A and B are shown apart, each in its own frame.
Chain A
Amino acid sequence: MSFITLEGVTKEYSAALALRGVDLGVAEGEWVSIVGPSGSGKSTLLNIIGGLDTPSSGRVLINGTDINSLSEDGLARFRRETIGFVFQQSHLIPYLDATENVMLAQYFHSIPDRKEAEEALVRVGLGHRLRHRPPQLSGGEQQRVCIARAIINNPALLLADEPTGNLDRANTKNVLDLLKELYKQEKFTVVVVTHDPYVAGWAERVIHMEDGKVVKDEQIRT
């Protein structure tokens, strides 16, 4: 049984269909990239998988749970306990330091624990930047804080939307190296949305989307 199952998922906005009946399965512990041109529906699909958006029709099951059947509170609980998010923009709180930004995710999950947050930052190579606020960090470092924030609650699924979109190639490689290392250690499932073939190439499987549909599904490594 797939860890993520999408059955006939459509998403209709006022004038256009963003998704046109997507069927998809992602196994537990798999690293999948979703690629496609702008407007192909890949970010919409990621938001629907993450419960940030709802499909117009169809079902989304994560680890057997139909997330659209959950109440608002239930969905929020499910998100904070099961999913970690990394976005293109870091969305870090500018007046909190790196540790406090990670602790904020702990707070919304359960209770903050400074020691554990600092350990997570050390793991992503920011042991020397614990008390630095986001404006004092480089783009690559900010994205590392985001990864620490995403994994701090031990998620089973990590969703990343253009995680290296703002980074140069060297920093992109550093961030992806880090993600790969954590992926191997933590054994979570990863879904990365990107338009960059270099980033997509780090996955085990690449799903190509066009015009709201899956047009190609290729296994590039096992």
Chain B
Amino acid sequence: MSRFVLEALFIAAKEGVKLSLCVFIVISLLRRADRKQLIGSVLVGIGIVFVSSIGAMSSEATIEMRETVSKLVGYVFGLFYIFSLAALFHMSGTNMLGPLKDVVVKKPVLFSLILFLTIIYFMPDMAGSSLYLKDLYYMSGRDLLVFIASGVVFFGAAGLSYVLFERAGVGVTRLFGLPQTLLMLSLVKLVAGGVRGFAEFSLIPSVQSGLMKLTHDAVHQMLVMLMVPDHPILSVTAWNYIGVLFGEGAGLWLSLLLFMLPLGIFLTQHFSAEPVVPAEAKSGAMRRKFIKAFRDERVLRSIPIFVFMLFIFSNWFVQKGDGAYRLYVPEPVPAATENGVVVIPIKSPSKDLSDGMLHKFSVSIGEESIRILVMKRPDGTLAVCLDACEICPPDGYGQGKGHVVCLYCNTPIPYETLGKPGGCNPIPLAALVTDKDIRIEMKEVSLKWSDVKTGKTRESIER
């Protein structure tokens, strides 16, 4: 059996078990809530997803499509996490649905809602996995065994694990109300949402860099609102202090806070709520029994929340460990010039510009050395920029994890925005990028550099 077939089997088994686990949890919830008639919407949704996945296999999927599918895993995680938080607070007495409160409980609305959620929940994983199976089929030299074996294993794993969950897991489903179910579904996305492996969705780094960017923009906006000229009059020392606000450490702690705080508030509310004993509980024994049942259920229903928090914390802790490293700041390599054009080879015996690392080159104009930055973006294209931005003095950039960082003000710049003009991004250079090399007019380098050097860009920002 080839490596590709084995990989296909693993993907199929994982998707099968994941599907049956999620379906089991949802169906158990619907049964307990006496909403058995809605089970059909889950099954219809899965049918639609399955047919669409087969369709995805037969389509010509572009790189962008594949990346969108992968990103959707993260978005679905976020969506279900937010839904679960809303449901948690709704269930504990805060009306999160407003005037829609009475509408969403109607059968047609619920049916449509569950159908929609089923489709968006399963679609990214199933479609992504199907596309990857297709890749494996081609990589294996069109070995049909990739499809046959993965199909058999997918249905086998789904069926077998569903039977096992039904037999062994019914007691466990007492732990899951609607909010806990949604939370567990988002957790499944987090720990097993990979379309090419087990888990590819990296939660903390993406949230961390988003928060860093948000804080950074808020700080700049604050200075604008206070009518304080931004970088030009603030010293490096001042920016080193301000930069802490949107540095990696602050971003990391903020990301932990973002996930833990709502759950922490909920748990506090959950455990401090007093039971309202119904009037039917006339005797002391009945009253005590009701309170006991209330407390037992409260403890049981908090277990999935603690499990979720544990996973988030583990994820955060791993990321914190990973983040304990210095920025990578490569030494600029002198670039060759031919007839007023800077020529940088894409591949050389000592360098590959497509390796995902930050590369710096230098060219000389008179006695001055100008740095050029080249780096591969997540979409596979190369960003060619000056190693300077429009705002800060030209200290340049270092490479962090998932972003480059301004050495002057500590601003994180996601890889995706490299080469985009404006703000804290490195200033893009007009360049001709071929399979062999990158060519930049010396005039372009000189012009952009003179703007940086003379502070022209900063002046225009001030104005």
Q: Which residues of A come within 8 Å of B, CB atoms?
A: 81, 106, 109-111, 113, 116, 152-154
Residue B286 at the chain A interface, CB threshold 8 Å: yes
Q: Kindly provide the distance from the CB of A124 to the nearest chain B CB, expressed in whole angstroms.
A: 15
Residue B203 at the chain A interface, CB threshold 8 Å: no
Query: What residues of B have a CB within 8 angstroms of the CB of A153 in the complex?
Result: 285
Query: What residues of A have a CB within 8 angstroms of the CB of B288 in the complex?
Result: 106, 109-111, 113, 116
Residue B295 at the chain A interface, CB threshold 8 Å: yes
- Assess whether B295 is in contact with A154, with CB atoms less than 8 Å apart: no
Q: Kindly provide the distance from the CB of B186 to the nearest chain A CB, expressed in whole angstroms.
A: 34
Can you list 24 A-B contacts with CB-CB less than 8 angstroms, sorted by A residue number? A81-B285, A81-B289, A106-B288, A109-B285, A109-B288, A109-B289, A110-B285, A110-B288, A110-B289, A110-B291, A110-B292, A111-B288, A111-B291, A111-B292, A111-B295, A113-B284, A113-B288, A116-B288, A152-B284, A153-B285, A154-B283, A154-B284, A154-B285, A154-B286
Q: Kindly provide the distance from the CB of B274 to the nearest chain A CB, expressed in whole angstroms.
A: 14
Q: Kindly provide the distance from the CB of B355 to the nearest chain A CB, expressed in whole angstroms.
A: 63
* Chain B, 260-313, CB within 8 A of any chain A CB: 283-286, 288-289, 291-292, 295
How distant is the Cα of A54 from the Cα of B295 in the complex, in angstroms? Answer: 34
How distant is the Cα of A152 from the Cα of B285 in the complex, in angstroms? Answer: 7
> Which residue of chain A is the closest to B288 with respect to CB atoms?
A110
Query: What residues of A have a CB within 8 angstroms of the CB of B292 in the complex?
Result: 110-111
**19 additional A-B residue pairs with CB within 8 Å, beyond A109-B285, A111-B292:** A81-B285, A81-B289, A109-B288, A110-B288, A110-B291, A110-B292, A111-B288, A111-B291, A111-B295, A113-B288, A116-B284, A116-B288, A152-B284, A152-B285, A153-B285, A154-B283, A154-B284, A154-B285, A154-B286
* Interface residue tally on B, bucketed by range: under 10
How distant is the Cα of A25 from the Cα of B292 in the complex, in angstroms? Answer: 34
> Which residue of chain A is the closest to B286 with respect to CB atoms?
A154
Query: What residues of B have a CB within 8 angstroms of the CB of A154 in the complex?
Result: 283-286
Query: What residues of B have a CB within 8 angstroms of the CB of A109 in the complex?
Result: 285, 288-289
How distant is the Cα of A116 from the Cα of B292 in the complex, in angstroms? Answer: 15
Query: What residues of A have a CB within 8 angstroms of the CB of B295 in the complex?
Result: 111
> Which residue of chain B is the closest to A151 with respect to CB atoms?
B285
Query: What residues of A have a CB within 8 angstroms of the CB of B286 in the complex?
Result: 154
Q: Kindly provide the distance from the CB of A106 to the nearest chain B CB, expressed in whole angstroms.
A: 6
Q: Kindly provide the distance from the CB of B174 to the nearest chain A CB, expressed in whole angstroms.
A: 15
How distant is the Cα of A110 from the Cα of B286 in the complex, in angstroms? Answer: 9
How distant is the Cα of A110 from the Cα of B288 in the complex, in angstroms? Answer: 6
